[in-house]
Amino acid sequence: MLRKTIQTRMLVALFVVTTFASAPLSGLGQKASPVAPTKAQVEAVVREAYDKFRSDTSGKNADYIPFLAQVDSKMFGVAVVSTDNQVFSIGEINYAFSIQSISKVYTLALAMEELGADRVFERIGSEPTGRAFNSVNGVVEMPTHTGNPLVNAGAIATTSLIAGKDANEKWNKILNFYSRAAGEKLTLIDEVYKSEAATNAGNKALAMLLAKYERIYADPFESVDIYTKQCSVGVNVIQLARMGATLANNGKNPVSGEQIIKPEHVPYILSTMTMAGLYDGSGGWAWKVGLPAKSGVGGGIVAIVPGKGAIAVFSPRLDDAGNSVKAQKVIEYVVNKLDFNVFSPRSVGLKGE
Ligand code: GLN
């Protein structure tokens, strides 16, 4: 009896999957996921979240990089890009903010393309640090010293893995890789770079400390300089969502169709983002949202819904861990309304009886 019920259920499930898979491409990433919500549902929920949190003024701009303190903290934009390149955006969508720490995800991806995942894991590791993103103590106390590729120390070490005959060649390779992930040419925001380069003694100290432990793989100061440039790349919220959608789409850019990241590397990148994407806010994020994501002190956060798409939010006011307050609230709201939490069986359509 029980067996029969299970068999019937499996048949029904198969029927549902096939029916949805051949349905018109009206949902978010419908092609890749049979349980994607419709475009209209996504738009309605994102609009709701935008209106709900629009006048929230909690948090404050990063000010340890002088340029960022001057950015208009009222700016607010949201974009969703699906794996089949449907785009929905609202609010400030033209302003190019600095990508900051979100860059670390893509330099990690590039390092894996160049060295393979195993060698990157050996040289950097992927352990949550539970400490501030720029922690010196973390470098001293963590057995790996580098921690993971998404805190400053591990990220600078990851940047040092990128090969090239000189700093310029390495930097151009990185910028070009980001542009391919975004599906359009990205550029450096020179004022951000200058402002950060004039105030990055802390990152230089981290790099020298890594040198002491033999956990940096090129000249420490050259690596910090390239890292500072990568953090100063400008993206608007749609470009950022598209970079996220490339990860959601198994490493293939949904606009250009180019395979930027090897599919077998994607789970390593997404698991690292889940563990450390919001630094010492990552545990709370996994608890409440349940999606791989990455924040930057420029005010951006991108969250990945594997197989379906990505949502990016820009709002400069940050919490104490350095994560945009409004971006976290918007993404949490949207994810819960649309059942995107990957740890919840609801994300694959199991709603209970
Ligand atoms: N460029 C910034 C830094 O090195 C990036 C930090 C961040 O976005 N959390 O401090």
- Distance of CA 298 from the midpoint of ligand 1 (Å): 8
- Going 111 to 188 to 185 to 54, the CA torsion angle's sign is positive
Question: Measured from the CB, is residue 220 less than 6 Å from ligand 1?
Answer: no
Question: Measured from the CB, is residue 203 less than 6 Å from ligand 1?
Answer: yes
Whole-angstrom distance, CA of residue 253 vs CA of residue 242: 8
Whole-angstrom distance, CA of residue 217 vs CA of residue 102: 21
Sorted by sequence, the CB contacts under 8 Å of residue 277 that are 6+ apart come out as 105, 150, 285, 292, 293, 294, 295
Q: If DSSP codes are grouped into helix, strand and coil, which group holds residue 75?
A: coil
Question: Measured from the CB, is residue 103 less than 6 Å from ligand 1?
Answer: no
Question: Measured from the CB, is residue 100 less than 6 Å from ligand 1?
Answer: yes
Q: Mind listing the pLDDT tens digit of every residue in the chain (353 residues)?
A: 445 444 545 444 444 443 333 333 346 665 556 778 999 999 999 999 999 999 999 999 999 999 999 999 999 999 999 999 999 999 999 999 999 999 999 999 999 999 999 999 999 999 999 999 999 999 999 999 999 999 999 999 999 999 999 999 999 999 999 999 999 999 999 999 999 999 999 999 999 999 999 999 999 999 999 999 999 999 999 999 999 999 999 999 999 999 999 999 999 999 999 999 999 999 999 999 999 999 999 999 999 999 999 999 999 999 999 999 999 999 999 999 999 999 999 999 998 76
Token pair of 25 as six digits:
């491409």
CB-CB contact of 312 with 301 (8 Å): yes
Q: If DSSP codes are grouped into helix, strand and coil, which group holds residue 237?
A: helix
Question: Measured from the CB, is residue 322 less than 6 Å from ligand 1?
Answer: yes
Give the domain ranges of the chain. Answer: 39-341
Tell me the best of 61, 63, 64, 133 to mutate to test the pocket of ligand 1, counting ligand atoms within 8 Å of each CB and taking the most: 133
What pTM was estimated for this model as a whole? 0.91
Please say whether the structural domain 39-341 has been given the CATH code 3.40.1160.10: no
- Distance of CA 351 from the midpoint of ligand 1 (Å): 40
* Residue 59: predicted pLDDT: 98
Of ligand 1's listed atoms, the one at least distance from the Cα of 279 is 9
SS3 content of the chain, % helix, strand, coil (to 5): 50, 10, 40
Classify residue 323 as exposed, middle or buried by CB count within 10 Å of its CB (0-12, 13-18, 19+).
buried
Helix (H) / strand (E) element for 81: namely: strand 77-82
Q: Which residues pair with 295 in a beta bridge?
A: 301
- Distance of CA 337 from the midpoint of ligand 1 (Å): 31
Question: Measured from the CB, is residue 296 less than 6 Å from ligand 1?
Answer: yes
Q: Which residues pair with 300 in a beta bridge?
A: 314
